[in-house]
Amino acid sequence: MNHTEFFAALKQGNVGGCYLFEGEEEYTKRSALKALREKIAGGDFAMMNDARLIDPAPDALIAAAETLPFMSDRRFIEVRDSAMLTAGKAKDYDEDSAVKELDAYLDRLPDTAVIVFFVRGKADGRKKLYQALKKKAQIVSFDPLDDKELARWIAATLKKEGKKISLSACQRLWFSAGRDLTMLSNELGKLAAYAGEREEVTEEDIAAVCVQSTEYKVYDMADTLLSGQGAKALRMQEALLRDGEERLMLLSLLGRQCRQLSYAKAMAAAGSQPGEITGKMGLPGFVVRKLLDTARAYSQDQLNEMSRLCLDTEYLVKSGQLMDAGSLEKVMLQILSMREANQYGV
């Protein structure tokens, strides 16, 4: 099941005996763990009914599950970093025999215990315990939120602060700050405080106070370059390199932006409207509008040439035929020369 199905079942009071929580969205995963813990081991005697184990041997896990709850119907057992579900190797027990023991025990797991195997990221699906849990537990996958889910989450989080936000502002927020919910939670707190008495959080607020992801900084650098502000773009590129970013990574992202410009211009020339282009490219509407505006300064052939230039340069660097130092700067200057040629009719 996914996180939405899990929360819906929990709200209805449907709680299983054994779970595996896995997936890349750690914030939602932690929220689900907290909600389930409060459901099972909440109240005055919470500490008495809450066991937290790190890569336990089977006898330790079974002992925790067999312990009767105190003044409650069930005990909550959280299992973290089990080597039986990750790429690591168990230190204190034999994994094969441990899996057999747990596999047999899960068939007689008492109603007084709820076990949650909590894995950072994805569990190793090749492991024998994972195969056993597929049959005897509820596996909950916590994948990154899609655009609609993310917009709803941002709006709901701000609503708790008495604020509201438009869809376009939501898109600008996750495009600039990234989609990690832990990071976004911090940024939303800053935005609510910055807005003060105002009810609505605006795009201007986001630009003023929110952090910018590396990917957004590269996007901003490329946009500055492609808009003809060469000196500023080169300063931004130097700042990114000083911050430890790899020149080859910057070149790759610049190439991606050139390809996006080429695709957007080609679709517009074929009669596609901005909304249709937005859907096909999977980008926020304000980004597509900016791409279309920037693309007007170049011919389709030039945009295609810029894309090839980035790809060819990246290949030459990776294959050792071209030095990494200066490769990005050379591409940036060549792109600037194309725009200047258009301006002066060369």
Residues 322-338 have pLDDT tens digits of 888 889 899 999 888 88
Spatial CA neighbour of 48 closest among 29, 19, 73, 13: 73
Q: What is the pLDDT of residue 178?
A: 87
pLDDT over 80 (residue 321): yes
pLDDT (tens digit per residue) in 202-241? 999 998 999 888 888 888 888 898 888 889 999 999 999 9
Contact 220, 236 (CB under 8 A): yes
The three-class DSSP label of residue 71 is coil
pLDDT (tens digit per residue) in 93-143? 888 899 999 999 999 999 999 999 999 999 999 999 999 999 999 999 999
Query: Residue 271 region, left (φ>0) first, then alpha (ψ -120 to 50), else beta?
Result: left
Q: Which residues contact 241 (CB under 8 A, 6 or more apart)?
A: 247, 250
> Structure tokens of 334?
């060549």
> What are residue 253's DSSP bridge partners?
none
The rounded distance, in Å, linking the Cα atoms of 178 and 183 is: 8
Q: What letters, b where the CB count within 10 A reaches 16 and e where it falls short, cover 101-134?
A: bbbebbeebeebbbbbbbbeeebbeebbbbebbe
Contact 41, 76 (CB under 8 A): yes
Contacts 24+ apart (CB under 8 A), 184-193: 184/154, 184/157, 185/27, 185/157, 187/211, 188/154, 188/157, 188/158, 188/161, 189/161, 191/158, 191/163, 192/158, 192/161, 192/162, 192/163
pLDDT band for position 88 (cuts 50, 70, 90): confident
- The number of helices, as runs of H, and strands, as runs of E, in the chain is 16, 7
Mean pLDDT of the chain: 89
pLDDT over 80 (residue 45): no
The percentage of residues in the chain with a pLDDT greater than 70, rounded to a whole number, is: 98
What average pLDDT does the segment 241-253 reach? 89
Domains of the chain: 3-141 (3.40.50.300), 147-209 (1.10.8.60), 214-343 (1.20.272.10)
Q: What is the pLDDT of residue 343?
A: 56
The rounded distance, in Å, linking the Cα atoms of 344 and 282 is: 35
Task: For residue 190, count other CB atoms closer than 10 A to its CB.
Answer: 15
What average pLDDT does the segment 143-168 reach? 92
Residue showing tokens 């990690």: 180
Q: What is the pLDDT of residue 228?
A: 85
- Of the two residues 154 and 340, the one the predictor is more confident about is 154
pLDDT (tens digit per residue) in 17-42? 999 999 999 999 999 999 999 999 87
Per 3-state DSSP, what percentage of the chain is helix, strand, and coil (rounded to 5)? Answer: 60, 10, 30
Q: What is the pLDDT of residue 312?
A: 93
Q: Which residues contact 212 (CB under 8 A, 6 or more apart)?
A: 176, 177, 220
The pTM of this model reads: 0.73
Q: What is the pLDDT of residue 190?
A: 93
The rounded distance, in Å, linking the Cα atoms of 49 and 74 is: 7
The rounded distance, in Å, linking the Cα atoms of 130 and 60 is: 19
Where is 205: in which H helix or E strand? Answer: helix 203-209
Contact 171, 284 (CB under 8 A): yes
Residue showing tokens 């500023």: 232
pLDDT over 50 (residue 346): no
The three-class DSSP label of residue 118 is strand
pLDDT band for position 54 (cuts 50, 70, 90): very high
What average pLDDT does the segment 154-170 reach? 93
